[in-house]
Chain A
Amino acid sequence: GEQVEQRPPHLSVREGDSAVITCTYTDPNSYYFFWYKQEPGASLQLLMKVFSSTEINEGQGFTVLLNKKDKRLSLNLTAAHPGDSAAYFCAVSALTSGGNYKPTFGKGTSLVVHP
């Protein structure tokens, strides 16, 4: 089955620095990719979804890159601020033999942004 490895598990940066979180996956039948943000004491909120084969998606203050050839998904916070301090999770949905998509999550990255 799908295996998703997320790195690093912990990341500490200063305000204004960039922060990069990377996930690698194994299943070539992976078609949907997601980043979730979890603030302390809260549930997971969808940050960005990526569907195309190689895509750069830009959101407010972050960029997501998918490289299907290398089976790598990354989240780049371009100029981190303290409000970005949270746990971030990647998720990969692969097509199963039963014809449905099943998501697999990375173990998460705890990001701390210091003022």
Chain B
Amino acid sequence: DAGVTQTPRHEVAEKGQTIILKCEPVSGHNDLFWYRQTKIQGLELLSYFRSKSLMEDGGAFKDRFKAEMLNSSFSTLKIQPTEPKDSAVYLCASSLSGIEQYFGPGTRLTVL
């Protein structure tokens, strides 16, 4: 079985641009998570979907971050507009009913 895939692996954006990150979960998993990882803040939950329904949208990230799950096998994370402080690694993970999470390779975002 294929694991979690994320594209692109690296993204460089100018301040103010809109970027879209993509994630394909493990086939059959009903939970999908988006995290942001930085050295200072560690892992921060951005969004959490269960069976395509948004369960949690990470509070502080609401204004410029929007995650969507268009179908059970594809999710996007849009950041609009980007700011330099958004530079981080964005991780997508999936699980079966919130138990064991499988992580994708991540997207490293640099905002200039």
Contacts and interface: CB of A to CB of B under 8 A. Distances in A.
Interface in A92-115: 93, 98, 100-103, 105, 107-108
Contacts, number: 47
Interface of A: 32, 34, 36, 42-46, 49, 89, 91, 93, 98, 100-103, 105, 107-108
Contacts of B103: 36, 43-45
Nearest to A102: B98
B99 A32 contact: yes
B74 interface: no
Interface residues of B, number: 21
Nearest to A49: B100
Contacts of A100: 31, 50, 55, 97-98
A32 B91 contact: no
Contacts of A91: 101
A61 B50 CA distance: 35
Contacts of A107: 42-43
A63 B54 CA distance: 36
Contact of A32 (B43, B93, B100): B100
A100 B109 CA distance: 31
A91 B102 CA distance: 12
23 contacts: A34-B100, A34-B101, A36-B103, A43-B103, A43-B104, A43-B105, A44-B93, A44-B101, A44-B103, A46-B101, A93-B98, A93-B99, A98-B55, A100-B98, A101-B97, A101-B98, A102-B48, A102-B98, A103-B33, A103-B98, A105-B43, A107-B43, A108-B43
